[in-house]
Amino acid sequence: MNIVVLVKYVPDATADRQFEDDFTVDRVNVDGLLSELDEYAVEQSLQIKEKRDGEEITVTALTVGPQAAEAAVRKALQMGADKGVHVVDDAIAGSDSIATSLVLAKAIEKLGPVDLVVGGLASTDAGMSVVPAMLAERLGLPQVTLASVVETQGDQIRIKRDGDVATEVIGGTLPLVLSVTDQSGEARYPSFKGIMAAKKKPLETWSLADLGVDAGQVGLGAAYTAVEETAARPPRTAGEIVTDEDGSGAKALAEFLASKKFI
C-alpha cells in the first residue's frame, strides 16, 4: 500500500508574516516550518501503517515549495515517513491553488499507483482548505475530508467528522484522498532515533521538467487569480481597561455596552 502525505512548508504563524512587492508571501525572510496542521496528516498516515502491521506500506512525504521547503519533508521523515519528495522549481513561485494542485497531482501520478493521499485541514498560511478536494478532482478520486477519527480495513475507510449541522460517519473505498483535522489526535515528536534514521532515508528533488509540467502553466504569471492590493490591518487602538473592585468592573462594562447600544 502506498500512502502519500502532503506536507506544506509555511512561514511561522507566530513570526511577523509579510508580503513581497509582487504581493506573494515572503517565504525567505520569515522562518518557515512544516505546517502544524500537516503534522496531524503525517501522524494519521503513520498510525494507519502501524495498525496494519505486517503489510507492505510506504509513507511518502510530498511537498511543493521553495528550496527551504525541504525542511517540511525532513520533519516528516523524522516523525517516521519512509521517503520524501520535494518538488522545487523557480517557475512555481507565486502559484495559486489551481497550479499548486496541478503540480501535486503530477507528482502523485509520477509516484505510481497510490492508495491514499493524506492532507491537512488547511495550510496555516493561506488556509483555503481546498487543495485535497482539487487533488481528488484532478486524480479522479473520491475524497473523505476533515476527519477527526480514521479507520481503515482492507480497501475500506471509515472516518468520523464533526460538521456544522451533524456529526457524520463517512465510508469510502481506496484509492482516495483523505484530509484530517487537528482533532484527530496529537502528532508525535521525532525521537532521537527517528532523527538519526531520517538522515539515511531517500529524499528526491523533482523539477517541473521531471513531472512533464510546462513552466507556463504555473507560477504567478499563470495564476487564475490576481492580487491587486495587500494592506496591513491598522492596529487596533488600545481601548479602555478597568480593574474590577467590588463590582466596579461589571458596572463600567455594562455602561460601555449601553453606550454602544448593545443593551
Ligand X SMILES: Cc1cc2nc3c(=O)[nH]c(=O)nc-3n(C[C@H](O)[C@H](O)[C@H](O)COP(=O)(O)OP(=O)(O)OC[C@H]3O[C@@H](n4cnc5c(N)ncnc54)[C@H](O)[C@@H]3O)c2cc1C
Kindly list the distances between the CA atom of residue 255 and the CA atoms of 239, 242, 261, 263, in Å, as whole numbers in the listed order.
14, 12, 10, 9
Query: Is residue 23 a contact partner of residue 167, using CB atoms and an 8 Å limit?
Result: no
What's the closest the beta carbon of residue 171 comes to ligand X, in angstroms?
22
The three grid cell numbers given for residue 115, joined into one nine-digit string: 492508495
Torsion of CA 64, 69, 75, 80, to 10 degrees: 30
Number of residues that bind ligand X (CB under 6 A): 32
Minimum Å distance from CB 135 to ligand X? 8
Choose the binding region for ligand X from 73-81, 126-134, 189-197, 231-239 (rule: CB under 6 A).
126-134
Residue 252 grid coordinates: 463600567
Longest dimension (CA), the chain: 72
Least distance to ligand X, CB of residue 53, Å: 26
Q: CB–CB of 205/211 below 8 Å? A: no
Q: Within 184-223, which residues bind ligand X (CB under 6 A)? A: none
Per-residue mark of binding to ligand X, 28-57 (x: CB under 6 A):
-------xxxx--x----------------
Instruction: Write the CA distances from 51 to 48, 137, 149, integer angstroms.
Output: 5, 29, 14
Name the minimum Å distance from CB 127 to another protein.
7
Among 15, 18, 28, 128, binds ligand X (CB under 6 A): 128
Q: How far apart are CA 85 and CA 203, in angstroms?
A: 6
User: Shortest Cβ distance from residue 196 to another protein (Å)?
Assistant: 32
**3-class DSSP assignment, residue 31:** coil
Site for ligand X in 164-183 (CB under 6 A): 182
Q: How many CB atoms lie within 10 A of CB 72?
A: 27
Partner whose footprint covers residue 41, from ligand X, another protein, none (CB < 5 to 8 Å by kind): ligand X
191/248 with CB nearer another protein: 248
Specify the residue for cell string 467590588: 246
170 binds, among ligand X, another protein, none (CB under 5 to 8 A by kind): another protein
Vertex 150, ends 144 and 156: CA angle to 5°?
A: 70
The single residue among 44, 45, 60, 63 that binds ligand X, judged by CB under 6 A, is 63
Partner from another protein, ligand X, none binding residue 192, C-beta < 5-8 Å depending on class: none
Residues that bind ligand X (CB under 6 A): 6-8, 25, 35-38, 41, 62-65, 95-98, 100, 119-120, 122-123, 125-132, 182, 225
